[in-house]
């Protein structure tokens, strides 16, 4: 019996080796879920549909952890040729991965006495306080535990689940006052004052997903010599290849990230799990490495970016300042398609681009242009993000959406096809606005306030347009006829919106036909319908063209 095993039996900190012990939730190709160890997950990646998790943001954080392991194990991939060898192989290189993990085994023990995984050994406050696990588990809303089915008062976690939430906490922990760690000079009066959310919480996360976990990981595994994301593997290293952190910042005032891999395991918090009798019972969460989001577009590939005049003015910057583009909880991913497609925007311009597409989409563009993957390859774009409230100190919502598209749409030299896709998004939004205006005008004609009916009608029709648009988008292949494709969508959108309009007009009260004076003019249901039909023709012109009419 080893000393660690004896300690576990005695009720002290147990041993839990993440390399060999099952803890990662995975989905088999038949949809069944189970837990696998870190090594087994990578060895069996070709037989797995993907990662699972308690919440979508956990999948984002765990995927980036696996990417960091792969980058370290492969010392790359160094270039496109090395990547293509990986893509062509039936499995990931298990021997290399196993050897790499063995070299760093001590850093993957969840309860190691000196180097516990993503934690600080001996982390403590001046009074020795620790917190309930509600601080660690993101599916328990902080302060409103009645929204969860968990027993918050007696919450304990198995090491496997605690490990998952540990990774998630380092990526998405809210801001707010933290416990003040002994040895952290930033602590005042025993408190760690807010340094912002953990790094991934600042992002509108974007991941690419393939037919299985192996493809998913490789699609997100950017070669180290690629364009703006070129990196030095000697300096861009994951947490377990760096010196163990202490309670204090690594560099006073904060350090800059060395590259994407550094960010994949960025230790935004200093954490210590408290365990006993084989369970995790308490946690200590303190401030870690602070990181500001401005102009990290060349080291963070998994988010889009927006230019911020406000930040430029605040920083008195003579050059553009870019901030991560966050997801909107009430907006489907396809409605923001333009921000995802490299062919619809430029990373550079005389005065700087107004927006930058996610680096991972630029990578997909490169893979397609170089014919490393087929132009008609179906790729799933997964959008994941967290919304915070009350000065970013609590979790309000988790954003999760997916969109399937053909790889050709990501090509920079396929701007004509990308333009059709984004034009059809704009047409859908214009048509939804037509219906919203109809609902608002009808309500006003009856003597009511049109704002509520307008927004509700638009919300309903967007829900009705959602599935048809997603199916239509997959018809945009490399050989697609752009005019025919656009006509096809306009006709589908017209059918959906006009059906909703007819239903709305069937339900209006008689008073609407008599009308009211609105803004100095008489408004009736008839006036509203005429305006709607005129605007709809302008929104969906291809639906009314001669070519669009059935023979």
Summarize pLDDT for 374-389 with one digit per residue, the tens.
999 999 999 999 999 9
Confidence of residue 47 (pLDDT cuts 50, 70, 90): very high
The mean predicted confidence, pLDDT, of the chain is 91
Q: Would you say residue 153 has pLDDT above 70?
A: no
pLDDT at res. 144: 52
> Which of 508, 69, 113, 123 lies closest to 287 in space, CA to CA?
123
Region 206-228 average pLDDT: 95
The H or E element that residue 483 is part of is helix 482-506
Q: Would you say residue 33 has pLDDT above 60?
A: yes
Residue 142 tokens, joined: 């902080």
Cis, peptide link before residue 77, omega less than 30° from 0: yes
pLDDT at res. 549: 47
Confidence of residue 158 (pLDDT cuts 50, 70, 90): very high
pLDDT at res. 520: 67
Summarize pLDDT for 388-408 with one digit per residue, the tens.
999 999 999 999 999 999 999
3-class SS of residue 160: helix
* Cβ(99)–Cβ(75) below 8 Å: no
Confidence of residue 348 (pLDDT cuts 50, 70, 90): low
Residue 24 tokens, joined: 């990662």
Q: SS3 sequence, 198-255?
A: CHHHHCCEEEEECCCHHHHHHHCCCCCCCHHHCCCCCCCCCHHHCCCCCCCCCCCCCC
Region 47-57 average pLDDT: 96
Pairing relationship of beta strands 521-523 and 516-518 according to DSSP bridges: antiparallel
pLDDT at res. 146: 42
> Which of 42, 25, 163, 39 lies closest to 101 in space, CA to CA?
39
Provide the residue count of the chain: 551
pLDDT at res. 443: 87
Q: Would you say residue 147 has pLDDT above 60?
A: no
Confidence of residue 341 (pLDDT cuts 50, 70, 90): very high
Q: Which pairs with CB-CB distance under 8 Å and at least 24 residues apart come from 545-551?
A: 545/487, 547/483, 547/487, 548/487, 548/490, 548/491
pLDDT at res. 343: 77
pLDDT at res. 5: 44
Q: Would you say residue 491 has pLDDT above 50?
A: yes
Confidence of residue 11 (pLDDT cuts 50, 70, 90): very low
Q: Which domains does the chain have, with CATH numbers?
A: 3-186+195-410 (no CATH), 413-548 (1.10.132.100)
Cα-to-chain-centroid distance, residue 340: 12
| Residues with Cβ within 8 Å of residue 136, at least 6 apart in sequence | 157, 162, 165, 166, 169, 283, 285
Region 333-352 average pLDDT: 79
Strands (E), 336-377: 355-356
**Rounded-to-integer distance, Cα 234 and Cα 177, Å:** 35
Q: How many CB atoms lie within 10 A of CB 403?
A: 19
Region 225-245 average pLDDT: 90
**Rounded-to-integer distance, Cα 160 and Cα 136, Å:** 14
**Ramachandran quadrant class, 238 (left: phi over 0; alpha: psi -120 to 50; beta: rest):** beta
Cα of first residue to Cα of last residue in the chain, in angstroms, is: 82
**Rounded-to-integer distance, Cα 274 and Cα 112, Å:** 12
Region 471-497 average pLDDT: 96
Q: Would you say residue 345 has pLDDT above 80?
A: no
Q: Would you say residue 551 has pLDDT above 50?
A: no
Residue 111 phi, psi dihedral angles, 5° rounding = -125, 30
Share of the chain above pLDDT 70, in %: 92
Summarize pLDDT for 242-297 with one digit per residue, the tens.
999 999 999 998 999 999 999 999 999 999 999 988 899 999 999 999 999 999 99
Confidence of residue 197 (pLDDT cuts 50, 70, 90): very high
pLDDT at res. 8: 44
Range in 8-17, 183-192, 456-465 the model is least confident about: 8-17
Q: Would you say residue 523 has pLDDT above 90?
A: no
Cα-to-chain-centroid distance, residue 362: 16
- Exposure on the CB side of residue 319, measured as CA atoms within 13 A: 5
Summarize pLDDT for 533-549 with one digit per residue, the tens.
999 999 999 999 765 44
Q: Would you say residue 186 has pLDDT above 80?
A: yes
Buried b (16+ CB within 10 A) or exposed e, 363-393: bbbbbbbeebbebebebbbbbbbbebeeebe
* Cβ(378)–Cβ(408) below 8 Å: no
**Rounded-to-integer distance, Cα 384 and Cα 401, Å:** 7
């Amino acid at each position: 019996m080893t000393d660690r095993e004896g300690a576990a039996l005695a009720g002290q900190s147990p041993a839990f080796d993440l390399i060999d012990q099952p803890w990662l939730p995975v989905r088999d190709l038949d949809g069944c879920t189970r837990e696998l160890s870190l090594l087994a997950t990578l060895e069996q990646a070709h037989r797995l549909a993907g990662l699972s998790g308690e919440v979508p943001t956990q999948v984002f954080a765990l995927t980036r952890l696996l990417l960091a392991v792969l980058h370290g194990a492969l010392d790359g991939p160094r270039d496109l040729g090395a990547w293509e060898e990986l893509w062509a192989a039936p499995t990931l290189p298990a021997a290399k991965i196993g050897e790499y993990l063995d070299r760093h085994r001590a850093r993957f023990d969840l309860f190691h006495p000196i180097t516990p995984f993503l934690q600080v050994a001996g982390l403590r406050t001046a009074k020795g306080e620790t917190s309930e696990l509600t601080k660690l588990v993101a599916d328990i809303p902080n302060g409103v535990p009645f929204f969860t089915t968990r027993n918050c008062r007696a919450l304990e976690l198995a090491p496997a689940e605690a490990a998952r939430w540990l990774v998630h906490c380092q990526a998405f922990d809210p801001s707010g006052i933290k416990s003040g760690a002994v040895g952290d000079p930033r602590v005042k009066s025993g408190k760690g004052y807010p340094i912002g959310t953990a790094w991934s919480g600042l992002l509108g996360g974007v991941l690419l997903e393939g037919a299985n976990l192996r493809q998913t990981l490789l699609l997100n595994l950017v070669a180290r010599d690629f364009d703006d994301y070129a990196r030095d593997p000697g300096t861009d290293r994951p947490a377990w290849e760096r010196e163990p952190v202490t309670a204090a910042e690594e560099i006073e005032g904060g350090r800059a990230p060395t590259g994407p891999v550094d960010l994949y395991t960025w230790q935004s918090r200093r954490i210590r799990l408290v365990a006993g009798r084989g369970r995790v019972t308490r946690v200590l969460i303190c401030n870690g490495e602070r990181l500001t989001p401005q102009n990290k577009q060349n080291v963070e590939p998994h988010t889009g970016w927006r230019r911020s005049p406000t930040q430029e003015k605040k920083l008195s910057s003579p050059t553009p300042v870019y901030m991560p583009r966050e997801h909107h909880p009430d907006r489907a991913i396809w409605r923001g398609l333009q921000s995802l497609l490299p062919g619809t925007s430029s990373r550079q311009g005389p005065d700087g681009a107004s927006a930058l597409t996610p680096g991972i989409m630029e990578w997909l563009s490169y893979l397609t242009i170089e014919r490393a993957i087929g132009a008609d390859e179906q790729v799933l774009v997964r959008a994941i993000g967290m919304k915070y409230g009350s000065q970013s100190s609590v979790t309000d919502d988790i954003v999760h959406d997916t969109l399937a598209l053909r790889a050709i749409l990501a090509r920079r030299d396929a701007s004509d096809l990308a333009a059709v896709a984004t034009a059809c998004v704009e047409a859908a939004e214009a048509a939804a606005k037509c219906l919203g205006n109809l609902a608002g005008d009808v309500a006003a004609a009856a003597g009511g306030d049109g704002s509520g009916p307008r927004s509700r009608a638009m919300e309903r029709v967007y829900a009705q347009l959602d599935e048809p648009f997603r199916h239509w988008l997959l018809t945009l292949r490399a050989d697609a006829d752009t005019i025919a494709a656009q006509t096809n969508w306009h006709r589908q959108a017209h059918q959906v919106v006009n059906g909703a309009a007819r239903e709305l007009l069937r339900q209006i009260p008689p008073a609407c036909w008599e009308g009211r004076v609105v803004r100095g003019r008489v408004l009736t249901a008839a006036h509203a319908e005429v305006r709607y039909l005129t605007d709809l023709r302008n929104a969906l012109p291809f639906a009314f063209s001669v070519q669009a009419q059935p023979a």
